[in-house]
Structure 1
Amino acid sequence: MSNAFRDLLKKVGSGNHTGENLTRDEAATATRMILRQEATPAQIGAFLIAHRIKRPTGEELAGMLDAYDQLGPKLQPITSGQRVFILGLPYDGRSRTAPISPVTALLLSAAGQPVIMHGGDRLPTKYGLPLVDIWQELGVDWTGLSLAQTQQVFEATGLGFIYLPQHFPLAQGLFEYRDQIGKRPPFATMELIWCPYAGDAHIVAGYVHPPTEGMFQTAFAVRGTQYFTTVKGLEGSCDLPRDRTAIIGLSTQNPHEPIERLHLVPRDYGFTTKNVLLESTTQLLDAMQSVLQGQPSELMQTALWNGGFYLWQCGVCPDMQSGIAKAEDLLRSGTVTQQLEKITQVLASVTRSLIKF
């Protein structure tokens, strides 16, 4: 048993009257001890559920991110005129609405905007459809690449994926605990704003509950993160909804200033107010292939709605309307399909090099 960890556990697990928040340094220490399994399983499980009940603070999230920065993987800076977008999505996947973020990532990278995604396999507590499965169905298998190989793909295509089982096994080791406690611990919140990139980045984080956005803002301010976007998205992702107004927070140049609030109404841009449901993986991939071929569909509307917003926000287009038009042109012209083919070819080449070696 770790006496040092027990002292940290006592602070977060002592209840409303005597419990205390951790400092940034304490949160970083606790996270390092959990990742390294220096605390006992009983201590780790107790900490995760106690911290969830207490609810994390932004300062605690900042400390957890400090530990991830110290122990986790990072893709190295690439030569690009664009700040790299980090798309933060829930690791436990999607179960109700059709995800569009892989198409968004392809659109952005095809337009010259580098993107990094991160995640793992089907994970607790939702065990929804994960990003890595969608990519595999599209012909891009990130799961067998080392970090160095992923770096090669990222440098050649502007798209990278940090796959936890391969690149960050310390974090992967926490998922058994998360399954056993049956609830998302604060690590599931922190992961949405983790940045596995060593260069200049813009973090895009989805969330469900408004207090979570406030935690994000505090963590960003504490860490001096200047560039970020928050999205009250579908199932906590950064996919913009179509059935309601999209509520978005945009960072200012000063991380200590309030965010700029943006409300986007789908019908103002000619979109129907309807989300595409996730019926099955097969149905989703068929619909995605249709989108990549530039064919009209409900999922195409979702792709244009999201692609237009992100092309605008990364500076490729001057406004939302021109972003939507640009997204449509990239899809209908076959440019996005060509980008997908390029990624598969580069990945295959990297994999062949490993086999030869």
Structure 2
Amino acid sequence: MSKEFREFLRKVGSGTHTSKSLTRQEAETATTMMLQGVATPAQIGAFMIAHRIKRPTSEELAGMLDAYKLLGAKVDAIASGKKVLVLGSPYDGRSKTAPVSPVTAIVLAAAGIPVLMHGGDRMPTKEGLPFMEIWQALGLNWQDLSIEQVQQNLETHLLGFVYLPKHFPLAQSIVPYRDQIGKRPPFATLELMWSPYQGKQMIVSGFVHPPTETNIREAFALHDIAEFATVKGWEGSVDLARSRTAIIGITRGDRFERLTLSARNYGFTPEDPAIGDASEIAAKILSALKAEPSEYLNSVLWNCGFYLWLYGLHSEIEEAIAHAREIISSGTAWQKLEYLRG
């Protein structure tokens, strides 16, 4: 048993009236001790559930992010110096709506925007459809790539995927605790924030609850991360819905902009495509890349248009949507997938 970790546990787990938050340094140390197995299984499980009940502060999340930056996978900067768009979606996947992030990333890469994503396998407690199963269904067997090969994909094809079990096994080692405690721990929020990329970037973090967005913004400020966006997307992802208004926060230096976007205002009907298994989603993606009309393609165009605009390729979202449509209809996006398949 770690006596040092026991003090952290006592601090966060003392109850509603007497528990205290950790300092940034304490949160970093506690996270490092969990990742490296210095804390015992009983201590790790107890900390996760106590911290969830207490709710993490932005300072604690900043400290946890310090540990992830220190111990996690690191993707070197690409030679072009282009800003990389890092998409942070929940690792426990999707169970209601069809993900569009993978095809959005392909289209953005075809437009010359480098995109880095990250995730794992099916994750407790939701056990939703993860990105890796979709990549595999598309013929992209990225689960065995080295981190250097991920960087090479990002460098050459402008799209990379960091796979938790392969590239950050220390974080993968604490995944089973999620199943055992039956709840998402604060690590689930951390995964929305973490970026393995070491160069110029813009992080996009999905969220569900407004307090989570506030914590993300404040923790990023503590890390001097000056360019990022938060998206209240499908199931906490960075995918913009069409069935409801998208709530988005954009931070660029000292400037913060709040956006509320309705797909109806851009000519889309308010429908969201339903979830399927990996092969069904892959079929939807292939159909969309062939420009075959569907509600899934409409969601792809809506999301691609937003992200082309967010990155700065267009001053108006309408122009960005038209650009996305051209990338797909011209076959450029399909060709990008073929390049990725090798």
Q: Give the alignment's TM-score, normalised by structure 1.
A: 0.94
- Per the alignment, residue 276 of structure 1 pairs with 273
- Using the TM superposition, name which of 144-153 and 96-105 deviates more: 144-153
Is the 8 Å Cα contact of residues 81 and 199 (structure 2) preserved in structure 1?
no
Residues 1:300 and 2:297 are matched in the alignment: yes
Amino acid at match of 1:277: A
Taking the aligned partners of 2:82 and 2:242, their CA distance within structure 1 comes to 28
- Per the alignment, residue 313 of structure 1 pairs with 310
Amino acid at match of 1:218: E
The 5-angstrom pairing of residues 154-165 of structure 1 reads 154-165=154-165
- Per the alignment, residue 258 of structure 2 pairs with 261
CA RMSD of aligned residues (A): 1.0
- Per the alignment, residue 87 of structure 1 pairs with 87
- Per the alignment, residue 203 of structure 2 pairs with 203
Residues 1:111 and 2:111 are matched in the alignment: yes
The 5-angstrom pairing of residues 222-237 of structure 1 reads 222-237=222-237
User: How far 1:33 moved relative to its partner?
Assistant: 0.1
State the identity %: 57
- Per the alignment, residue 173 of structure 1 pairs with 173
Taking the aligned partners of 1:298 and 1:8, their CA distance within structure 2 comes to 49
Q: Deviations over 1:230-275 (max 9, x none)?
A: 0000000000011011110000312xx6x31001111100000111
Amino acid at match of 1:41: P
Secondary structure of the corresponding residue to residue 241 of structure 1: coil
Residues 1:38 and 2:38 are matched in the alignment: yes
Q: Deviations over 1:126-179 (max 9, x none)?
A: 111100110111111110111112222221111111101111100000111111
Secondary structure of the corresponding residue to residue 225 of structure 2: coil
Is the 8 Å Cα contact of residues 134 and 279 (structure 2) preserved in structure 1?
no
Q: Deviations over 1:271-314 (max 9, x none)?
A: 00111111333332221111011111000000000000000011
Is the 8 Å Cα contact of residues 137 and 279 (structure 2) preserved in structure 1?
no
Taking the aligned partners of 1:209 and 1:225, their CA distance within structure 2 comes to 21
Is the 8 Å Cα contact of residues 111 and 316 (structure 1) preserved in structure 2?
no
- Per the alignment, residue 183 of structure 2 pairs with 183
- Per the alignment, residue 351 of structure 1 pairs with none
Residues 1:137 and 2:134 are matched in the alignment: no
Taking the aligned partners of 1:262 and 1:152, their CA distance within structure 2 comes to 35
Please, which runs of 5 or more residues in structure 1 have no aligned partner? 346-357
Amino acid at match of 1:309: F
Taking the aligned partners of 2:42 and 2:32, their CA distance within structure 1 comes to 16
Residues 1:12 and 2:15 are matched in the alignment: no
- Using the TM superposition, name which of 143-152 and 228-237 deviates more: 143-152
Taking the aligned partners of 1:95 and 1:216, their CA distance within structure 2 comes to 24
User: How far 1:79 moved relative to its partner?
Assistant: 2.3
Amino acid at match of 2:258: R
Task: Name segments (4+ residues, structure 1) moved above 4 Å.
Answer: none
Q: CA separation of 1:171/1:45 partners in 2, compared to 1, >3 Å: closer, same or farther?
A: same
Taking the aligned partners of 1:24 and 1:167, their CA distance within structure 2 comes to 25
Q: Give the alignment's TM-score, normalised by structure 2.
A: 0.98
Taking the aligned partners of 1:149 and 1:36, their CA distance within structure 2 comes to 25
